[in-house]
Amino acid sequence: MAVVTGAPRDYVEGVLKQHGWFDLFEQVFSGYEVVNNKPSPDVYLHACQAMKVQSHQVVAVEDSRTGLQSAKNAEICCLLINEHPSLKDTDADHTFASMVAAKPLLDLLFKDKLLFGLA
């Protein structure tokens, strides 16, 4: 698993370490390290290239319209974890109110795909 974020790397790594989650992820990719940040697909495409996977082999878990657009612009299957009414009409492949609700599908998808986490 990897984190693909539009936020600065230092910030995200700090949050991951604070919660004891840092070791769950193989890498962290920041939109500040590519030419165009989210909603551009650049950070997702960079992550795919660095991890030697094709976009069709990846599932992105996002929580915002910007992140969703970035994943979809990279032609990555995307789960949106956010039930805010403003996000009702999106092109997410699947939408859930929580990670708990998404877990059964993630378990199925994770068997065949690399998971890119949200941030």
Q: What is the pTM of this model?
A: 0.89
The fold adopted by the segment(s) 2-117 is: Rossmann fold (3.40.50)
C-alpha span between 97 and 80 (Å, rounded): 8
Which sequence spans correspond to the domains of the chain?
Answer: 2-117
65-87 per-position pLDDT tens digit: 999 999 999 999 999 999 888 88
42-56 per-position pLDDT tens digit: 999 999 999 999 998
Torsion sign across C-alpha atoms 57, 74, 52, 30: negative
3-19 per-position pLDDT tens digit: 999 999 999 999 999 99
